[in-house]
Each structure stands twice: as structure tokens, then as C-alpha cells.
Amino acid sequence: MIVKVLGPGCKNCKKLEANTKEALQELGIEATIEKVESMEEIMAYGIMSTPALVVDEKVKFSGKIPSVKDLKKYLQ
């Protein structure tokens, strides 16, 4: 599984990355986490607001920071 956190490196993006790592650990899922900070790459996903989460090249959400509990639903 490849998980991408899209965002310019702001506080919210870092929080999403931390929550995602925690959710993956709690689920026992091994995944590669990539940070995408290039606006060109972010725009290629059709994202209008950050942070956003992409799992295996599918956009799961954008513009919010879900809780660890909610992230588990996106990652299973």
C-alpha cells in the first residue's frame, strides 16, 4: 500500500501524516508513506484544498484532518 499525504508542509499536513502513521500502526498495516509538497503534483490529483490523503492513487479526502479512528476506515 502506498499512502500519500498531499500538502505544502503546513501544521495541518504534519498532523494528518502523524494521524495516518498512528492509524496504520494500530491496524497493523505496512505501507509506504510519501509526502507530496509540490503544488504541480498536488494539482494533478484535482485537489482544491489541502491536506489530502491518497491511498494507492485514489483520493480519499481533502481539506480536513480526520481523527485516527476515521482514518482507519479510509485505510482498511
| pTM, to two decimals | 0.92
Residue 75 is assigned to a structural domain of this protein = no
Domain that holds residue 7: 2-64
List the catalytic residue out of 13, 23, 53, 71.
13
Catalytic member of 1, 2, 8, 10: 10
Give the model confidence (pLDDT) of 11-57 as tens digits.
999 999 999 999 999 999 999 999 999 999 999 999 989 999 999 99
Q: Is the dihedral of CA 68, 73, 75, 76 positive or negative?
A: positive
> Is 13 among the residues known to form the active site?
yes
Number of domains in the chain: 1
Q: What is the CATH number of the domain that holds 14?
A: 3.40.30.10
Burial class (CB in 10 A: 0-12, 13-18, 19+), 22: middle
- Cell 494507492 belongs to residue: 56
Residue 76 resides in a domain: no
10 has catalytic annotation: yes
